[in-house]
Amino acid sequence: MRTANVAIWHVNPTSLTQAECITTLKTWLSHVEAERMMRFHHAKHQHAFLVSHALKRAVLAQILNLHPCSLEFGIGSHGRPHLLGLAQQRLQFNLSHTDGMVAMAVSQDAYVGFDIESLLRKAPEPDFASRFFTPPEHQDILSRPTHQQNQRLLEFWTLKEAYIKAEGLGISLGLDTFYFQLDQAIPNIHYLPGAKAPSHPWQFLQTKIEPNHLTALAWAPNLNTNCTDEVSDDTNNFSNFSNEAWAVNCVVKSAQTLLENY
């Protein structure tokens, strides 16, 4: 069995307050990133943007043995950033943020999609699940005791976000064209007839970072494979993928010291 290594780095933006540290992080931003940061009206949101992009640069630069400000990024058609440069093509990453936490997944031998949500966030409107989830997911949520329904909803939501981010297509992929089952240790994804076929044989992990932050990771070994354009039935269909068994080694790391002492 082969192993794909994935690291999840995280930091609470409010924990980075030293003036010297903030000044250093700002020097890492590109002109485009600095302009985007200043578009936020509130200092809290500017700070969260700064920390999230500093985290991205610090982690990737450490892996590549480069300075954070030397990294250059391109933006995909659906807004997902990627590193520029042939030597960096195998380095995959995905950034996410929520109230009180910024986090990213990064790997040199796996494709990744990643999402994080605060379990303290206000519960959405009652019709949210019926609008964005499939009937099996909606029914699963409603079957839970009332005080557990919001967490169950966020478990489904983070997994869906991780998957559409992994595919790089965003909401256009259609949140109601696939669904998850959470009755086993590892979440299982199922595709409805007519759904866009997955580009890779995605597998999923879900865990908490500290007590109140839930994460979901979509990962697949970095293989060059092709698949059909459409899923024909409600099954996982990876007939064109390698059947070699893979496992994932996922390590969660705090980026506090990395950002403070770079």
- CB of 117 closer than 8 Å to CB of 214: yes
pLDDT of residue 230: 41
User: What's the pLDDT at 130?
Assistant: 83
Report residue 123's pLDDT band, with 50, 70 and 90 as the boundaries. confident
Paired tokens of 93: 């990453």
Measuring CA to CA, how many Å separate 84 from each of 18, 37, 102? Answer: 31, 21, 23
Say what angle helices 135-142 and 146-167 make with each other, to 10 degrees. 150
Model confidence at 126, pLDDT cuts 50, 70, 90, reads: low
Quick one: pLDDT band at residue 171, thresholds 50, 70, 90? Answer: confident
Q: Which pLDDT score, from 0 to 100, does residue 176 have?
A: 85
To the question of pTM greater than 0.75 for the whole model, the response is: yes
Residue 226 has what pLDDT?
36
- Most confidently predicted of 54-58, 195-199, 223-227: 54-58
pLDDT tens string 72-115: 998 876 678 889 886 566 799 999 999 999 999 999 989 999 99
Cα–chain-centroid distance for residue 112? 7
Residue 195 has a pLDDT of 87
243 φψ region: left (φ > 0), alpha (ψ -120 to 50), beta (else): alpha
Q: What is the pLDDT of residue 223?
A: 67
- Round the average pLDDT of the chain to a whole number and report it: 87
26 vs 3, higher pLDDT: 26
Tokens of 198: 């997955």
Joined together, the tokens standing for residue 252 give 């969660």
| pLDDT level of residue 129 (50, 70, 90 thresholds) | confident
Q: What pLDDT does residue 37 have?
A: 97
Which segments of 103-145 does DSSP mark as H helices, in order? Answer: 128-132, 135-142
pLDDT at 87: 56
Which 8-state DSSP code applies to residue 184?
S
Segment 31-37 mean pLDDT: 96
Report the sign of the C-alpha dihedral through residues 124, 126, 132, 136, in that order.
Answer: positive
Mean pLDDT of 126-150: 89
Roughly what angle, to the nearest 10 degrees, separates helices 43-64 and 19-28?
70
The b-or-e profile of 141-163 (16+ CB within 10 A means b, else e) is: beeeeeeebbebbbbbbbbbbbb
Q: To which residue do tokens 């949210």 refer?
A: 128
| pLDDT-based confidence at residue 244 (cuts at 50, 70, 90) | low
Query: Does position 11 have pLDDT exceeding 70, yes or no?
Result: yes
The CATH architecture to which 2-260 belongs is Alpha-Beta Complex (3.90)
* pLDDT tens per residue, range 63-74: 999 999 999 998
Q: Are 11 and 51 in contact (CB under 8 A)?
A: yes
